[in-house]
Chain A
C-alpha cells in the first residue's frame, strides 16, 4: 500500500490511540466542565475521534496485511532463488549426461567404421557393380528413401 511507504507505521497507531483517547475524554467531558474548550467542542471532538479510530483501525489492519504480504514475497523470492540454483544444477547434470552418451555413440561409430574398413572391405570386389553379387539399385534406392527427411 503506497501510503505505508510514505508514512511510518507509528503515525497510524498514534491516530488510533488519539481517537480512543479523544472519544474517552469526550464521554467524561462533564467532569471536565472547568475546561470550556472541551465542553464546547464535545460533538466535534467525538466526530473527529470516531474518524481517527476508523482510519487508525483500517490502517493498522493494512499494516498487518502489508507485513504478511511482504513476508510472503520474501519467502517466494527465496524459493525462486533456490529453484533457479536447482534448475542450473539439473542442467549441468543433463549436459554431462548428453556429452557422455554422445561421446560413447561417436566412439562406437568410429569402432564400427574401423571394423568395416578392416573386415567388410574384403567383400567390396564381390559386391562391386558388375561383380559376382552386385548391390541392386533398388536396395540403394530403398536405403536413400528411408534416409530422406519427411517434408
Chain B
C-alpha cells in the first residue's frame, strides 16, 4: 500500500519547466566603478586648480549618469518582471 502511495506522489512531482534568466546589465560602460577624484598639487597654478575642479565635476556627472542608468534599469526590469505574472 505504501508503494502505491509513493507511486502516486511521485506521479505528481514535477520540475519547474519555466525559468527566466537574470536580466543583463545595460552594457560594460555602467559596470566600471567610478574613478577617484583628482587632487591639486600644493604649488598648483590657478588654471591647474580650475582644470582639476572641472575634471572632478565631469567625473561626478559621469558617475551620476551611471547611477541614474542603474536606477532606470532596475525600474524597467521590475516592470517587465511584474508583467510576466
In the complex, the answer to whether B23 meets A124 with C-beta atoms within 8 Å is no
Using Cβ atoms and an 8 Å threshold, which residues of chain B touch A137? 42
The yes or no answer to B5 lying at the interface (CB within 8 A) is no
Which of B10, B27, B49 is A91 in contact with, Cβ under 8 Å?
A: B27
Q: Is the CB of A129 within 8 A of B43?
A: yes
Q: A137-B42, A140-B42 are in contact. Are A106 and B58 (CB under 8 A)?
A: yes
A105: interface (CB < 8 Å) = yes
A1 interface residue per 8 A CB criterion: yes
Contact among B19, B26, B40, B56 with A98 in the assembled complex (CB-CB below 8 Å): B26
Determine the main DSSP class of A at the interface with B.
helix
Interface pair B47/A124, CB less than 8 Å apart: yes
Tell whether, in the assembled complex, residue A124 and residue B17 are in contact, meaning their CB atoms are under 8 Å apart. no
Contact: B61 with A105, CB < 8 Å? Answer: yes
- Check A113–B51 contact: CB distance below 8 A: yes
How many residues in A have their beta carbons less than 8 Å from beta carbons of B? 47
- Name the contact of B44 in the complex, choosing from A62, A121, A126, A140 (C-beta under 8 A): A140
Which chain A residues in 78-130 approach chain B with CB under 8 Å? 79-80, 83-84, 86-88, 90-91, 94-95, 97-99, 101-102, 105-106, 108-109, 112-113, 116-117, 120-121, 123-124, 126-129
Q: List 10 other contacts, CB 8 Å, given A1-B11, A98-B66, A99-B29.
A: A83-B20, A84-B20, A87-B24, A90-B77, A95-B29, A97-B72, A98-B30, A98-B69, A135-B44, A140-B40
Binding site for A on B (CB under 8 A): 10-12, 14, 17-21, 23-27, 29-30, 36-47, 49-58, 61-62, 65-66, 69, 72-73, 76-77, 80-81, 83-84
